[in-house]
Amino acid sequence: MSELLSQEEIDALLSGIDEGAVDTTPEQPDYADKDIRPFDFRNYTVSARLKMPGLEVVNDYFARGFRGTLSSLLREVVDIIALPIKLERFKDFLNRIPVPASLHIFKLEPLRGYCLLNFESRLVFTFVERFLGGSGRRMLRVEGREFTIIEQRLIKRVVEAALSELEKAWRGIHPVKPQYVRSEINPQFARVLQPDETVVVCTFNLELEDLKGELLLCYGLGTLQPVKAKLYSPFQSEEDADPYWREQLEEIIRSVVVDILVPLGSAEVSGKDVLELSVGDIIELDAKIDQPLPVYVEGIQKMLGELGIYRGRKAIRVIEFLKEE
């Protein structure tokens, strides 16, 4: 069959379209609701790889450390929860921060680039009131006012405490030294990165009784590039282990009862010689009196020692611990 239409077929097709005999409405595919997924064109250029196990460990450790430090500063129990990591464009991050903003710029030496730390405004006013002896439970008007010099100095104490805990949290991944640069009230003056540059945003929920707010940490992807492999790997340092559980495990291990065996030596004796043994006979062992004796713990040789008497009892003194190859 020929794939080309003849002139008569073309004329008949055009005539049918003009007369309405040929339906030109495109057929609509039958999509099921489960096949339809939302697509965000705004964040299309942002990488979809949100799993950073290494950075999640840093966030968890930071949340635990800063929880205790902030509770001590405010003399009130503060709960801090780390939320999932998000990637977005830098301009979108700044646009969703209202004015006045408690936005603080810092560097993670020796990594290049700038990072941002932001406290929600109502949290800042609550912190200041608690520092000045108030209850911190009044509903204050946040919009339309700026932070005074005294308020900025007081909140800087919280920022310095947060950066100190951040330094501790990063030790398991890569040693860094946070360096405070400056603070900004208007987010538009904190454009330390390109507007379309992708940033990693870490969100923490802070709860003080009936007050809730957010703490944001913003890293540029260029800043994290030198340690990217560590952040994407499922790595967890020993420092992330809970010290309480470590102490409990050590205490349990110390209380375990073990068997210690110290063989004095050995000798090969025939069955005939054993049957002929009598009281007073001597069996010569292969060990010398000045030779250290092996000490076995649960069947595994761990030490060398020498025999002696201690408080009227036979004892063995440890003279050397054996290291495994």
Q: What is the CATH number of the domain that holds 262?
A: 2.30.330.10
- Regarding whether 209 and 301 lie in a shared domain, the answer is no
- Regarding whether 270 and 143 lie in a shared domain, the answer is no
pLDDT at residue 116, rounded to an integer: 94
- Regarding whether 289 and 159 lie in a shared domain, the answer is no
- Compute the distance between CA of residue 162 and CA of residue 174 in angstroms, rounded to an integer: 18
**Domain limits at 269?**
257-275+282-321
Are 147 and 100 in contact by the 8 Å Cβ rule? The answer is yes
Strands 300-310 and 293-297: antiparallel
**Residue 157 falls inside a structural domain:** yes
- Regarding whether 241 and 167 lie in a shared domain, the answer is yes
**Residue 221 falls inside a structural domain:** yes
- Regarding whether 300 and 202 lie in a shared domain, the answer is no
pLDDT at residue 48, rounded to an integer: 43
- Regarding whether 172 and 309 lie in a shared domain, the answer is no
- Compute the distance between CA of residue 168 and CA of residue 176 in angstroms, rounded to an integer: 9
Global confidence as pTM: 0.57
pLDDT at residue 242, rounded to an integer: 58
Q: pLDDT digit of tens for each residue in the chain (325 aa)?
A: 456 677 777 777 777 666 666 666 666 666 555 556 665 555 444 444 467 888 898 999 999 999 988 888 888 888 899 999 999 999 999 988 888 888 999 999 999 989 999 998 888 888 888 887 776 555 555 565 677 788 888 888 899 999 999 999 998 888 999 999 999 888 888 888 888 888 999 999 998 877 888 999 999 988 888 888 888 876 555 444 556 677 778 888 888 888 888 888 888 888 888 888 888 888 888 888 788 889 998 888 889 998 888 888 888 899 888 887 6
Report CA-CA distances (Å) from 168 to 60, 73, 113, 162, 183: 12, 18, 20, 10, 22
Structural domains in the chain (count): 2
- Compute the distance between CA of residue 236 and CA of residue 169 in angstroms, rounded to an integer: 11
Residue 83: both structure tokens together: 């939320």
Residue-wise pLDDT tens digits, 177-231: 999 999 988 888 888 888 888 899 999 999 887 788 899 999 998 888 888 888 8
- 3-state class (DSSP) for residue 24: coil
